[in-house]
Structure 1
Amino acid sequence: MKPVLDIHERPKLAKWIILSMQHLFAMFGATILVPVLTGLSPSVALVSSGLGTIAYLITTRGKIPAYVGSSFAFISPLISAMTFGGPGAVMLGTFSAGIVYGLTSLLIMAFGVNWLLKLLPPIVVGPVIMVIGLGLASTAIEMAMNYDASTGEYVDTALHFTIALITLTVTIVSSVFFKGFLRLIPVLIGLVTGYVISIFAGLVDLTPVQQAPWFHIPDFAIPYITVDPVYSLAIIGIMAPIALVTMAEHIGDQMVLSKITGRNLLKNPGLHRSLLGDGIASVIASFVGGPPNTTYGENIGVLAITKVFSVFVIGGAAVFAVVFGFSGKIEALIASIPGSVMGGVSILLFGIIASSGLRLIVENRLDMSENRNLVIASTILVIGIGGAFIEITEDLVIPSMALATFIGMILHGVLPNKTIGYGNGQLFESVEDDQNNG
């Protein structure tokens, strides 16, 4: 694929701005959705994604044109952490996820990647990804049908669910039938459409938007350290294990980027550097109160269509994200989006997460007629979706998603015939070949 702009080429200023804004729009819907659903600040999430992307580009020596932002995989753990201890707990959890990335990067640099692939086979990663999506299904429906948690009742359901379904329909149509760049921003198109309809339906109060200043300081959270080991272990147990799952997604992103750019990015600058970039981005997010960061498939899609691989364009999008984060009107606008609109988009997004896990199983041709694979997948799904947990102490609880991940890894480790759990090993063998052979 011959690039319009290669990785280290810098466009002229006017073109640079347009191309960077294009990437900003591609990531905008997903990046703001995570904090809105979890109770964090969208402005802080924008700032942390911008700063994280700049750190990622520096860490990877300007060789990987990737944008990092809020990860959907962490939505459920973030909600749990917010309930458990508020923004401070989220920051500790985000920091721990970043550390997991960093330690994994160091281990890959020292011992190669084979140990990680054995720890996270497709038969474990696929069902865990499905748990992430299906575990959030009730959240999407409650938003779409306007569930009032304070009263335990659904309010004006017909109107809200209608708007949610319209938002969902527009998002689906945009994703399937639109061409070019518009096909890459279905979430943003769906949000805008649902928002406009909500205005006419009288569900939006624009007064806060009108009164908000153009410039404001985002609601950054002040980092603090707790000396309570039980509290700390509880938060780490909620958040850190999910980093293992997003690593598998990260590897897939790097392989796609390698094919698009015509470079072996898994070898140069290396998987260890790209994982470290995700880790540093998440640590930065933890210092300002943002959610964990990971590379974005939406922006990879923009690269594929435009053939503009320039890291300067990605860096420009990061700068714009930081600038947008300091706009009071943008934050107020995001805050005014009705829950039914968010719910409509979430129905599709959470379903796509679950389907991605199923896709991983299919692509690796896992034989689900084998009892070994059935046992592992079934156990992970029921424990994760069913909400099982282990309460070690009053404050130390292993939540369902982390528990499902741990049990899946243990089952894969102790049950015989491990090779069955890798299927054809398509994704994992390709990574190993890239690491060894270039």
Structure 2
Amino acid sequence: MSTKSTSIFDFYGKPDFLTALPLSFQHVLAMIVGNITPALIISGTVNALAAKTGIASQGADAATLVQSAMFLAAIATLIQLFPIAIVGSKLPVIMGVSFAYIPTMSAIGSQYGLPGILGAQIVGGVVGIMVGIFIKPLRKYFPPIVAGTVVMSIGLSLYTTAVNYIGGGAGLKATAPELFGAPNQLIVGFATLLTVLFVGQFGKGIVKLSSILIGILVGYAIALPMGMVNFAAIGQKSWFALPALGQFPIEFHPAAIVSMAVIFIVNSIQAVGDLSATTIGGLNREVTDNELRGGIIASNMGSIIGAFFGGLPVATYSQNVGIVSTTKVVSRVVFMFAAIFVLIAGFIPKFGALMTTIPQSVIGGATIGVFAIITMSGVRLITQQEMTTRNTTIVGLALALGMGITAVPQFLANYPQWVSMVFGSSPVVIATIVAFTLNIILPKKSLVDEQKERDEIEAKREAKAAGK
């Protein structure tokens, strides 16, 4: 450990502010839209229930949930960077509200409102912490072939998100499908992508490392005269507001708790993939048992704390893991500044509103390459083990079922809604379960063993032929 290092490629390195600033800001830009979007979606769901039932406490102000999301993401990130006892991974990760929970939260919110979501979130967080505590004995069931499959499925599952963003966003596709994928959206999205690609391949020094930030700035500059940037939301926000501690009631409903607990278990296991991708891509080593335990506990602890602020469940952000893999920048100072920026946004709503003026096509163009890097990080993990028939079966079948089933929503339409929410909302869930199960039940064989089997078969065939 070098406490005097100023290197951005050293976790304990302390680069100067001007060096760390652009590198921190690109992490903020990569996560901010994803961090606030779940809050906007869930606020719409619970407010619809509140309007229907006339029970105001079931709903929530969208701006307040967004503010809570920013505050919680910052706190959760800082806990990961600066662990307290066994809580925290001490790895260069960015935390934020997770999209993975949206289907389950939407189902709970449409029936029990925000109080039901928050109650189920607290219990789910406790279940997730238990997974983290026992991750060391569980880890043997997640060798590189399984962890790599999970990481690869994360990257593959994010491609549609990036393409939706380039086209203008899923919201635009739903409300104004005739504008989705319009020439202006594609021009801005692909201009951003090409800028990131060009700067990343031909840039030097800090310019090269800030390729994603530069791409976003170029895309924003192109979008501005095209009328794609709307500043109205900034004027509607106040300059300062405290996080909403204790403003929302909390209720516990068994059905909501069970469905949420399942998602927390799956996402706690999925964290193995993100944390593995971080160490493989940024630190050139595998993640340790203590890092996994601390990271998973911190993530779930953050979700529990967040429930008291109206903050939704958090997880490590795969797009930021991708940035780490791309740039190799792992200095804790860089991530600390990013967390501070997000924390400021949690107290100054206008700051967060300014970030949301970035067109979604710009975000999509800037992140699709990042998602590709995540996929390849999974490939790197997978290829640490021999590509035997057994291992290729595990990877291929897990990805085939994961991607295939989620691509056909009708596949689970005749089953209870919770089945569709758990198994049909994300290919990562099914891919994880299939890879985990097959790795346990399929007999372990090396390439040498498989060649020996083929030789024995050939010898028996030749002996039989000679006997005739």
Residue number among 79, 86, 91 corresponding to 1:55 in the alignment = 79
* Cα separation, partners in 2 of 1:408 and 1:96, compared to 1, 3 Å: farther
CA deviation after TM superposition for structure 1 residue 241, in Å: 0.4
Count of aligned pairs between the two proteins: 403
Q: Which runs of 5+ in 1 are unaligned?
A: 421-438
Write the mapping of 1:352-431 to structure 2, written as runs, cut at 5 A.
352-367=373-388, 372-373=393-394, 374-386=396-408, 389=412, 393-395=416-418, 397=420, 398-400=422-424, 401=426, 402-417=429-444
Displacement of 1:337 after TM fit? Answer: 2.0
Name which of 350, 358, 363 aligns with 2:371. 350
2:107 maps to: 84
SS of 2:316's partner is strand
Moved more, 185-194 or 57-66: 57-66
Q: Partner residue of 2:300?
A: 279
| Distance across 2 between alignment mates of 1:42 and 1:226 | 21
**Change beyond 3 A, Cα 1:380–1:62:** closer
Contact 2:268 2:296 (C-alpha < 8 Å) held by counterparts? no
Q: CA deviation at 1:203?
A: 1.3
Counterpart CA distance in 2 for 1:287 and 1:368 is 49
Structure 1 SS opposite 2:387: coil
CA distance in 2, matches of 1:335, 1:281: 24
- Is the CA contact (8 Å cut-off) linking 1:164 and 1:194 kept in structure 2? yes
1:140 is aligned to: 162
- Separation (CA, whole Å) in 1 of partners of 2:266 and 2:103: 14
Aligned partner of 2:214: which letter? I
More moved, 25-34 vs 393-402: 393-402
2:94 match: secondary structure:
strand
CA distance in structure 1 between the partners assigned to 2:13 and 2:211 by the alignment: 28
**In the alignment, structure 1 residue 4 sits paired with structure 2 residue 4:** yes
Q: Does 1:27 align with 2:27?
A: yes
Map of 1:196 onto structure 2: 221
2:152 — aligned with what? 130
Change (3 A) 1:166 1:64: same
In the superposition, relative to structure 1, how do residues 338 and 81 fare at CA in structure 2: closer, same or farther (>3 Å)? farther
- The answer (yes or no) to whether the contact 1:286–1:292 under 8 Å persists in 2 is no
- Residue 179 (structure 1) aligned with residue 204 (structure 2): yes
CA contact (8 A) 1:148 1:154 kept: yes
Name the stretch that deviates more: 222-231 or 251-260.
251-260
Structure 2 counterpart of 1:326, one-letter code: F
Cα distance change of structure 1 residues 133 and 254 upon mapping to structure 2, 3 Å threshold: closer
The offset of 1:30, in angstroms, is 2.5
User: 1:429 corresponds to which residue?
Assistant: none
Q: What secondary structure does 2:4 align onto?
A: coil
Taking the aligned partners of 1:377 and 1:266, their CA distance within structure 2 comes to 26
Deviation string for 1:143-200 (max 9, x for gaps)? 3223530354444711111111111112223333333334344333222221221111
Q: CA deviation at 1:320?
A: 4.1
Query: Any residues of structure 2 matched to 1:78-117 within 5 Å, and which?
Result: 78-86=101-109, 88=114, 95=122, 98-99=125-126, 101-108=128-135, 113=136, 115-117=137-139
Separation of aligned partners in 1, 2:327 and 2:190: 31
Letter in 1 for 2:260: I
Which of 30-39 and 216-225 deviates more? 216-225
State the one-letter code of the partner of 1:196. A
Tell me the secondary structure at the aligned position of residue 224 of structure 2.
Answer: helix
- 1:426 alignment counterpart: none
Kindly indicate whether the alpha-carbon contact (under 8 Å) linking 1:20 and 1:317 is maintained by their aligned counterparts in 2. no
- Look up the match of 1:46: 70
Distance change (3 Å), C-alpha of 1:322 and 1:157? same
Asked whether the 8 Å contact 2:282–2:329 carries over to 1, the reply is no
- Cα contact 2:74–2:343 (8 A) shared by 1: yes
- In structure 2, the partner of 1:433 is none
Q: Which has the higher contact order (CA 8 A, sep 6+)?
A: 1
Deviation at 1:385, TM superposition (A): 5.0
Q: Distance in 2 between matches of 1:93 and 1:173?
A: 46
Q: Which residue of 2 aligns with 1:206?
A: 231
Q: Is the 8 A contact 2:157 2:403 kept in 1?
A: no
Is the partner of 2:361 in helix, strand or coil? helix
Please tell me whether the aligned partners of residues 151 and 374 of structure 2 are also in contact (alpha carbons under 8 angstroms). Answer: yes
Q: C-alpha displacement at 1:225, in angstroms?
A: 3.9
Q: Report the more deviating stretch, 55-64 or 206-215.
A: 55-64
Distance 1:98 1:168, change over 3 A: farther
Q: State the Cα RMSD in Å.
A: 4.2
Supply the distance in 2 between the matched residues of 1:116 and 1:285 (Cα, whole angstroms). Answer: 27
CA contact (8 A) 2:95 2:314 kept: yes
Alpha-carbon contact 2:202-2:208 (below 8 Å) kept: yes
The residue identity in structure 2 corresponding to 1:138 is: T
Which protein has the larger Cα radius of gyration, Structure 1 or Structure 2? 2
- % identical aligned pairs: 22
Unaligned residue ranges in structure 2 (runs of 5+) = 41-64, 448-468
Distance 1:149 1:175, change over 3 A: same
